[in-house]
Amino acid sequence: MKQLFLIGGWEVFDTKDEYYNFLKNCDRDLQNPKKNRKNRLCDSVSLEFKCIVPQMPNWMNADYMSRKIRFEKYFKYLNGEEVVLIWRSLWAMFLLRYLSETDFPSHLVQIHLIAPERKEEWLNWFSTAKNNLQKFESQCDTIYIYHSKDDDIVSFENWERLSKAIPWAIFEVFETRKHFITPAFPELLDNIWIYSR
């Protein structure tokens, strides 16, 4: 069965050492997270896709290395089928960097980046990454990037910069979706179904 990765949230820790220790030693059931607003999409595609919902680091401790450690723990659930990745906000920028530097172990048919945020930690990397973005492009058949002009968390300027840096992506611009914090996102579903038909 085809697989869909959809980003989730995660815990907060007092110190980085405590946090990294937990990441390395956590053995909870990674395939069966609790249902919430962020993973309702899985219910809509469950006949076609096996959903994997990574519980990723909370923004208060979310540096690149912690996300990388956590993301790679999910690779043991890949079944050799084609994969669709859906990541939003800061996590979308993590995925952009990760796939610009590292080979993903399965074939990616679609990547959906929703309101990607470029905070300060990404600026230095992004300014020197243009050559590596070709690696990102080569790992996926189709890349979608979504942004709303009225987003009150991520500046629309981010969309403008990304559209210049990744001109091969399909950019979908909305007027009134803010940061896409709603249970329904029909355009995203439509684009996923384009692939599965």
Which of 96-105, 129-138, 176-185 has maximum average pLDDT?
96-105
pLDDT > 90 fraction of the chain, expressed in percent and rounded: 21
Q: Is residue 107's pLDDT more than 80?
A: yes
Q: Is residue 172's pLDDT more than 90?
A: yes
Please state the length of the chain: 197
Contact 159, 171 (CB under 8 A): yes
Q: Which pLDDT value is given to residue 97? A: 85
Q: What's this model's pTM, rounded to 2 decimal places?
A: 0.80
Q: Torsions phi, psi of 149, nearest 5?
A: -65, -25
Q: Is residue 170's pLDDT more than 70?
A: yes
Q: Is residue 196's pLDDT more than 80?
A: no
* Model pLDDT for residues 6-37, shown as the tens digit of each residue: 875 455 566 778 778 777 776 655 555 555 54
Helix (H) or strand (E) holding 43: helix 41-45
C-alpha to C-alpha distances, 179 to 43, 56, 155, nearest whole angstrom: 21, 18, 10
Least confident among 44-48, 95-99, 143-147, 174-178: 44-48
Helix (H) or strand (E) holding 69: helix 64-73
Q: Is residue 111's pLDDT more than 90?
A: yes
Domain extent for 93: 2-196
For residues 48 and 42, give the distance between their C-alpha atoms in angstroms, rounded to a whole number: 10
Ramachandran region, residue 178 (left: φ > 0; alpha: ψ -120 to 50; beta: rest): left
We report the CATH number of the domain holding residue 35 as 3.40.50.1820
Q: Which long-range contacts (CB under 8 A, 24 or more apart) does 177-180 make?
A: 177/146, 177/148, 177/150, 177/151, 178/148, 178/150, 178/151, 178/152, 178/153, 179/89, 179/115, 179/148, 179/151, 179/152, 179/153, 179/154, 180/88, 180/114, 180/115, 180/146, 180/148
In the chain, the number of structural domains is: 1
Q: Give the three-state DSSP class for 187.
A: helix
Q: Which pLDDT value is given to residue 182? A: 74
* Model pLDDT for residues 35-45, shown as the tens digit of each residue: 554 557 788 88
Q: Is residue 105's pLDDT more than 90?
A: yes
| Spatial CA neighbour of 41 closest among 112, 140, 141 | 112
